[in-house]
Amino acid sequence: MTETKRRKRKKKKSAPQFTYVQVDTRAPEGTVLPKPKFSPLGAQPGQPGDRSAFGFEIHTRLDGKHGRTGVIHTPHGDIQTPCFIPVATQATMKAVTREQMEDNGAQAMLANAFHLYERPGEAVMNAAGGLNEFMNWDKPTFTDSGGFQVMSLGQGFKKTLAMDVEGMKSDDVIADGKERLAFVDEDGVSFKSPLNGGMHRFSAEISMRVQHNIGADIMFAFDELTTLMNTRRYQEQAVERTYRWAQRCIAEHKRLTEERVGKPYQALFGVVQGANYEDLRRLAASQIGSLDFDGFGIGGAIEKRIMGEICSWICDELPENKPRHVLGIAAVDDIFAGVENGGDTFDCVAPARTARNGAVFTKDGRWNIKRAAYKFDFSPIEEDCDCYTCRNYTRAYVNHLLRAGEMTGATLATIHNERFFIHLLEQIRESMDGGYFAEFRDAYLARFYANGSRG
């Protein structure tokens, strides 16, 4: 055995030594609380949130497929599905205002429970009146459970869920140059804060408490997200652990709903894991689908070539009368595959993150607007795009701003990319209701990928 392997083995056996950070969920004494601006459905003084304010109805079904159009009813309004949900990680879309997202046609936004727990903290969110009041957004909201950050902190892969894993199966996998910052056990997860180094604890019950204090219309049960590199045995264990955590989430969600009177009902979605294994995905879907959830999340690392198959396996087992959210997917072909095989809503950070680096999406593919070829190009990013950026600015101007490091460049590119995906799902919904989905899909994908786009 080499000296390097001896050091690695010794490091694995070492238990993390950190001081846990205690979280106070109360506002400081004397805090003057803001007056509510919005009046969500199902919120009555002295009463638990009315669950009937949340619901789902199906409009059009695709022949022979799980795909459908419909509407999700929430306390803060309706979501026409299928729909793209932009990610407002810190209760804001990076570089873009709430008004600009409304102009873009966003029906809802998804915030990150883990990051809002870190800052400004659940006490601030609760005192503000919840996520909608805090960010001045009078439309539906989602929060995730923190499960993604468990994988990210534990294994260092950041936002990479699709990966080449041939010959790489290990339950101690860690990205090159990264430190393991999260440690999973049966009760929950201990993690080292990337902000201040303090050791925190997330469990099913804590995730429910945090998300109730944040107050989104739709939230997700705490789950264990694995990578495609984990062994089959560990994937089996993670599926069973996620099921046990899901049962605990439901129990705590019901308790908190009864306790938090005067608040609108928050829908709870269970998350289906199981990596690329058909039997595990079906087992997980049947387990999670048997519980009293309001809807479901299709989660986990997914190999791109079988994206549609995985969604189909899962939707075979899930109740048909509840909505399904596909977590973290925004490649154009994956969107079509997800919709066709049962996905109702989709979220991903990729459109905004790539925009800040100059990558823009158009019907003719994804390309980088920072290239020198666009310095003298005075046409819009896309000729027939109705977004604010394309109505008012040129490729040359956006090219200049991004190359100069001006923040407005990120704003204009992000507006365009978010509108691209919002509009794409609008068009898909219209094609499904109009009975020409297959023709629209084939023509759109042929044009988008004609030049080898990575989008």
Is 138 annotated in a binding site? The answer is no
Is 18 annotated in a binding site? The answer is no
Nearest Cα residue to 193 out of 185, 202, 184: 202
Is 237 annotated in a binding site? The answer is no
Cα angle 137-56-298, degrees, rounded to a multiple of 5: 80
Distance of alpha carbon 31 from alpha carbon 416, whole angstroms = 40
Given 171, 347, 364, 384, the catalytic residue: 347
Q: Which residue has the tokens 């990575």?
A: 454
Burial class (CB in 10 A: 0-12, 13-18, 19+), 30: exposed
Say whether 103 is catalytic: no
Phi, psi of 138, deg, nearest 5: -95, 45
Is 80 annotated in a binding site? The answer is no
Cα angle 49-79-446, degrees, rounded to a multiple of 5: 150
Element containing residue 244 per DSSP (H, E): helix 232-259
DSSP readout, 341-407?
TT--EEEESHHHHHHHTTEEEETTEEEETTSGGGTT--S-SSTT--SHHHHH--HHHHHHHHHTT-H
238, two tokens: 């993670």
Cα–chain center distance at 437: 25
Is 294 annotated in a binding site? The answer is no
Q: Where are the alpha helices (DSSP H) in 95-146?
A: 98-103, 113-118, 122-127, 131-135
What's 20's DSSP letter? Answer: B
Distance of alpha carbon 90 from alpha carbon 305, whole angstroms = 32
Tell me how far apart the 2 most distant CA atoms of the chain are, in Å. Answer: 67
Is 73 annotated in a binding site? The answer is no
Given 78, 144, 185, 344, the catalytic residue: 144
Is 315 annotated in a binding site? The answer is no
Is 299 annotated in a binding site? The answer is no
Query: Is 94 within 8 Å of 104 (Cβ atoms)?
Result: no
Is 387 annotated in a binding site? The answer is yes
Is 348 annotated in a binding site? The answer is no
Nearest Cα residue to 302 out of 163, 108, 126: 163
Distance of alpha carbon 409 from alpha carbon 95, whole angstroms = 9
Say whether 138 is catalytic: no
Give strand pairing partners of 218.
142, 267
Cα–chain center distance at 203: 19
Distance of alpha carbon 211 from alpha carbon 228, whole angstroms = 28
What Å distances lie between residue 446 and 44, 360, 439, 451, CA to CA? Answer: 51, 18, 11, 9
Binding site feature residues for Zn(2+): 385, 387, 390, 416
Binding site feature residues: 144-148, 223, 273, 300, 385, 387, 390, 416
Catalytic residues: 144, 347
Binding site feature residues for substrate: 144-148, 223, 273, 300
